[in-house]
Structure 1
Amino acid sequence: MEITKAEDMKRDAYLHGMIYSKPGSGKTTTFKFLEGRTLVLDVDGSSQVLSGLPNIDIVKLDPSRPAQTMIEFYGYCKANQDKYESFVIDNLTHYQKLWLMEKGKSTKSGQPELQHYGIFDTHIIELISTFQAFKNKNIIWTAWETTRQIQTEGGQLYNQFLPDIRDKVVNHVMGIIPVVGRLLTNAETGVRGFVLRESNGTFAKNQLDNREHCLQDDLFKIGDVAID
């Protein structure tokens, strides 16, 4: 059993995180702020907004074989990890739908069966954990947003925004990813930024530094900031 002293540990200089928002609000555009070479798995067909950027390579997921394409993408990442500083999977919400649709093709009803949902839950946790094993890489996941109703101990109900991933597994997924940020646009200025701190209305977290929010182009600038 290997023991590491906490005093000898250093903060990770790379971001392993999930960013989420409603479709078309700028998640994919965030990748242009990554330094170094980036490899993007385009799951939902949104990579066109990255056209013309010299440091980004794109692999398009085959919607007829999503699980196999994901395996091939990971294999390529592992074989070529020295060429890239960042790996991006864009996005998990649509991958989830395609994965379940593929399973449904083999059933009499044409719909995924109950067992398939449980298998997917295990698959998504293993997938994230496998990519998390890459050292000295930014690993970025995206998802669309949804809401869930939360009830406090006092009986108060409120709606919370969070990544649109299956209810059975979303808490586990968000628990093992160090940074979860919700992308918002200021209605008055049009400036985009990330919420990195949880509130009643938004699930977010940041285990890398003390930032509670940041501009879109500052997401990957890891480090503590002065907080008033």
Structure 2
Amino acid sequence: MKVYNAADIEVGNNMYLIYGDGGTGKTSTAQYFEGKKLLITLDQSQDVAKGWANTVVSEPEPSDFNDIYNFLPWLLTDWLQPKLNQFDMIIIDNISNIQAMALEQVMANKKDNRQAYQEVQQWYRRIAETLRQLRKPVYVTGWETTFDETDAMGVKKTIYTLDLNTKARNAFAGLFDVVGRIHADETGKRMITLQPDGQTYAKNRLNARRECLPENLFNGREEVETFTEPKTTQTETKVEEK
């Protein structure tokens, strides 16, 4: 057990988990973090990072996915640890893409599928714990899944959540400081929802923001600054006669 003064608690090594539909800007949001970044791509989406400054890409080989259950923990420990000081942020894109692969690999060695699901849930928990132990800012993306739910009044609503088995999602996301849904609002502007609103799976234990622009996710700024064009008066607009 470690015992230390509260003043010695490390801050800034926050963990962000952002999910959304394809093309909503999940991966590209990471570029707004200032510092040297390591992008571990799990869904072949590295093209998005072309041109990013201070970014190194780690792209697993196809054969690595054949044993993703053992490969990812190895990647985050044995492979990454000696290089960790080279980076200011670790990015994993996309955690949802490997769920079926890991489950299939575990099921091959289990007679009871329920045991396989439980083991994968625990695996996701261990991955999150490993990321926390890196003591670096971490940014993880995932796909969005939706389902309809009817409340006690008979009103149907669409629920938005991270595309992982519910128990695996809770085990994994529980260790993150921020879980948000990136989407386009009614004007087409991309926003990230940071607090649950009855339809969205989200949390934010870093500050009171309920939503933010992607470019403000890491800096803590409010959603958007309101700009009001100043009113002109007759005096202000009059051209001086010479």
Q: TM-score, normalised by structure 1?
A: 0.84
CA offset digits 1:104-157 (Å, max 9, x no partner): 56689xxx933221110010001101110122x111111111124556677766
**2:82 aligned with 1:82:** no
Would the aligned equivalents of 1:210 and 1:223 in 2 still touch at CA under 8 Å?
no
Tell me the distance in 1 between the aligned counterparts of 2:108 and 2:57.
28
Q: How does 1:190-205 map to 2 (within 5 A)?
A: 190-205=188-203
In the other structure, the counterpart of 1:72 is 74
SS at match of 1:99: helix
CA distance in 2, matches of 1:14, 1:106: 37
- Structure 1 segments of 4 or more deviating over 4 A? 1-6, 104-108, 148-157, 223-227
Q: Distance in 1 between matches of 2:80 and 2:147?
A: 34
Unaligned runs of 5+ in 1: none
**Paired residue for 1:131?**
131
In structure 1, the residue matched to 2:212 is 214
Q: Report the CA distance shift for 1:218/1:224 in structure 2 as closer, same or farther (over 3 A).
A: closer
User: Which position in structure 1 is the counterpart of 2:102?
Assistant: 99
Secondary structure of 1:80's partner?
helix
Distance 2:110 2:119 in 1: 15
1: CA distance between counterparts of 2:148 and 2:175?
A: 22
Q: Which residue of 1 aligns with 2:122?
A: 122
Show structure 2 runs of 5+ residues with no match: 226-242
Distance 1:151 1:10 in 2: 43
Q: 1:226 to 1:210 in 2, by over 3 A?
A: farther
Note the aligned Cα RMSD (angstroms).
3.0
Q: Deviations over 1:4-62 (max 9, x none)?
A: 566x3768323301000012321111111111111111101111111122311111233
What is the distance in 2 between the residues matched to 1:95 and 1:200?
Answer: 28
Matched pairs, number: 222
2:140 — aligned with what?
141
Distance in 2 between residues matched to 1:82 and 1:211, nearest whole Å: 31
Structure with higher Rg: it is 2
**3-state DSSP of counterpart to 1:176:** coil
SS in 2 for 1:141: strand
- Give the Å deviation of 1:100: 1.9
CA shift in 2, pair 1:155/1:129, >3 Å: farther
Structural mapping, 1:129-208, within 5 Å: 129-135=129-135, 137-148=136-147, 158-188=157-187, 190-208=188-206
Q: Is the 8 A contact 1:29 1:50 kept in 2?
A: yes
